[in-house]
Structure 1
Amino acid sequence: MKLAKMAMMLPMLALAPAVAQAGTKCTSPATVDVTNRWARGALGSVRNTADTVSNIYCIVYSYGYAFCSARDAAGVTGSCGTSDPGYINTLQAMTQDSYVYFTWDTAGTCNYMVVENMSCLDPKSH
């Protein structure tokens, strides 16, 4: 009888996933393209990288100015500054593990900015 029950369960076990997953994971190291004037990366991913060169950050000053900078593993750096209230407001959504993407013009002024907070992003681990 036990053998018959086990035989009935085998097809159901074959449909069960082999490994449980806790959701999508995404990593976004610092990437800088000075030719097209953009930079991106997730703060947690950059912090967790093994290299000692990469960084990405944005600063919002109380007098209505913001500055963002990124350096990739090769040491390529891109940055921009802005006093645009919309961009400053966007940066207010940034957390310690956010993904940030920004672009700049030839004068070094930010002309596009995205801040994303997603469950797939790496949290800082050290």
Structure 2
Amino acid sequence: MKKTGMMWGLCVAMGLSAISFAGERFSASVYVNTTTRAFSGNLGTARNGLDSVSYLWCASNSAGVGRCYAKDASGTTASCATIDADMLATIRSLNSDSNLQVSYDSLGECTFIHVATGSHFETKGP
């Protein structure tokens, strides 16, 4: 009987801990750092932001060229381009509710592109 009670207690504790993480939200405004040559943010947060300045987006074309662009609330901009097949695939996985992280070199070529999509990222509003 004692073991059964301990097992029930463990199950309840595990269930409650899972519930406490449900619905987690993560907002990330557009961040641009021209010194470290990096920019990042949530596309949903950029869209929903109160300022009318910020943007964050990427595009690719059939010629095999991809570009990513960012502008933060203070008006600082950054962008980069790539023809790397893996980076193009990453750009093409981006959706309006994704988190985007980009690094680029002094020539404006993308050196790193990371896309993450999950329920915890702020979604795009109307």
TM-score range with shorter-chain normalisation?
Answer: 0.7 to 0.9
TM-score (norm: length of structure 2) = 0.82
RMSD (Å), alpha carbons? 1.4
Q: How much has 1:91 moved relative to structure 2?
A: 1.2
2:27 is matched with which residue?
27
2:101 is matched with which residue?
101
Give the AA of the match of 1:117. Answer: T
CA distance in 2, matches of 1:23, 1:40: 23
CA distance in 2, matches of 1:21, 1:115: 22
Q: Percent identity?
A: 32
Give the AA of the match of 2:26. Answer: C
2:71 is matched with which residue?
71
1:121 is matched with which residue?
121
Query: Structure 1 unaligned runs (5+)?
Result: 1-15
Runs of 4+ aligned structure 1 residues displaced above 4 Å come to none
Write the deviation string for residues 18-60 of structure 1: whole angstroms up to 9, x where unpaired.
Answer: xx87421000110000000000011101000000000000001
Aligned residues: 108
TM-score (norm: length of structure 1) = 0.82
SS of match in other structure, 1:78: strand
Q: How much has 1:125 moved relative to structure 2?
A: 1.4
More helix by share: 2
Give the AA of the match of 1:30. Answer: V
Query: Structure 2 unaligned runs (5+)?
Result: 1-15
2:13 is matched with which residue?
none
Give the AA of the match of 2:96. Answer: Q
CA distance in 2, matches of 1:51, 1:61: 29
Give the AA of the match of 1:113. Answer: I
Larger Rg: 1
2:83 is matched with which residue?
83
Q: How does 1:2-13 map to 2 (within 5 A)?
A: none
CA distance in 1, matches of 2:90, 2:44: 19
